[in-house]
Structure 1
């Protein structure tokens, strides 16, 4: 199945695409957005396989959004739709997998979906071996090199970051955002403004009596908080 998000500022255009997609048993519309900002909010909660994106919208246009999507660590496939043919070159420079002119026909949409079902750029890259990021920490008078596979979690502090490994923890300079950029491709996920954890180490997510969510991380004694902002994204990552 292809999980698909439709982005168009015209409700009738979104409704037409929904009807056309209903004829494809391998396609499942999991979300809609009427603007670039709404799409970004939606992607915090779910990461679809395919985004069908209008180019001319109120506010930020689709080409800008397409370039932003292409820069994400795990970008979805992307099909642009527009009433104007002159954007084709810019669309494909934004790494589009398809370019459809309105009104979109069922045949054109079917062909574009088939193209999107082929491995995406992110999927091809994920199949290639890539070096594990390393982190240098101080252990007494010596320095130690940690591989990503050794690290359980990172926690932001006032003037640096605490790094958790089994039975030990280290303090490093820098910011959690910098570490997220380095370690997210190695399987780390931001679960809270102060926490970045190894997805492979997540045992369970629990909800307490007052509605807060916490992670049980294998190898780490303390529970890790999950923010409301990140909860949907974390749950989507765990369902894959």
Structure 2
């Protein structure tokens, strides 16, 4: 599913952009069977709060907003997610140079030209990898849970079970597993975003905040150890992941 966030403190502008994107989805995405979810935010703080529990593929941001400017908002989005696509919309062309600190895909001047927005959306969608909607099914003591891999921060093997830490802070614990941790998580490790950095830990590299010789620090603040003997391999795999992301941006 393609998730889109629009943030503009002017209700009329928010409505116009929503209508344009809705028309674009109907014309160009529905016939490609691309599911979409669009959310509106009338203040940057509300978007920042939402981002604590969920992520978006595409952000359409106004520049001049109260408390937190669209430029600062874009920088924070980029800090959290190097792959997200950002489109700026504004009445103020003088901020264009500053805006590129967040690596936006385009900077559109209001009133928005609909075809220009459509062309920018097409470019943005072409750069988004929707394969991240892959899932993993976990048998817990109470039920079956289907977890989105994009929501997963890390997995930890302990007490013959696997603990899954999600972006919203929730912890999901599997029933006792009989196979090895690596075998249990083998389908997750086929996803290029995931790395086993220790015999008992697996991380989502998209969720890394800091990389050190002995550990990864995730966005939640959780510190995941790196096995000393595995460090050279872990370092190379993580660096390759970062370089691949830069190539595709």
- For this structure pair, what is the TM-score category when the shorter chain's length is used for normalisation? 0.5 to 0.7
Does the CA contact (< 8 Å) of 1:152 and 1:165 recur in 2? no
Structure 1 residues 109, 15: CA separation in 2 closer, same or farther (over 3 Å shift)? same
Partner of 2:69: 61
Q: Alpha-carbon deviations, 1:161-189, whole Å to 9, x = none?
A: xx726379xxxxxxxxxxxxxxxxxx953
The corresponding residue for 1:217 is 174
CA gap of 1:92–1:19, structure 2 versus 1, over 3 A, is: same
Which of 32, 35, 38 is residue 43 of structure 2 equivalent to? 35
**Relative to 1, partners in 2 of residues 1:51 and 1:15: Cα closer, same or farther, differing over 3 Å?**
same
- The separation in 2 between residues aligned to 1:41 and 1:30, in whole angstroms, is 16
Q: Is the contact between residue 152 and residue 219 of structure 1 (CA under 8 Å) also seen in structure 2?
A: no
Runs of 4+ in 1 over 4 A off after TM superposition: none
Q: Which residue number corresponds to residue 166 of structure 2? A: 189
Q: What's the CA shift for 1:58?
A: 0.9
Q: 1:76 offset after TM fit, Å?
A: 2.2
Residues paired across the two proteins, number: 147
| Runs of at least 5 residues in structure 1 that lack an aligned partner in the other structure | 127-150, 154-162, 169-186, 197-214, 221-240
| Separation in structure 2 between the aligned mates of residue 70 and residue 4 of structure 1, nearest angstrom | 15
Distance 1:43 1:167 in 2: 29
* Equivalence map 1:79-98=2 (5 Å): 79-98=87-106
Task: Work out which of the residue numbers 104, 112, 117 in structure 1 matches 2:112.
Answer: 104
Measured in 2, the distance between the counterparts of 1:167 and 1:50 equals 36
User: CA-atom RMSD, angstroms?
Assistant: 3.1
Displacement after TM superposition at 1:93 (Å): 2.0
Q: CA deviation at 1:42?
A: 1.9
Query: How far has the Cα of 1:2 moved from its partner?
Result: 3.3
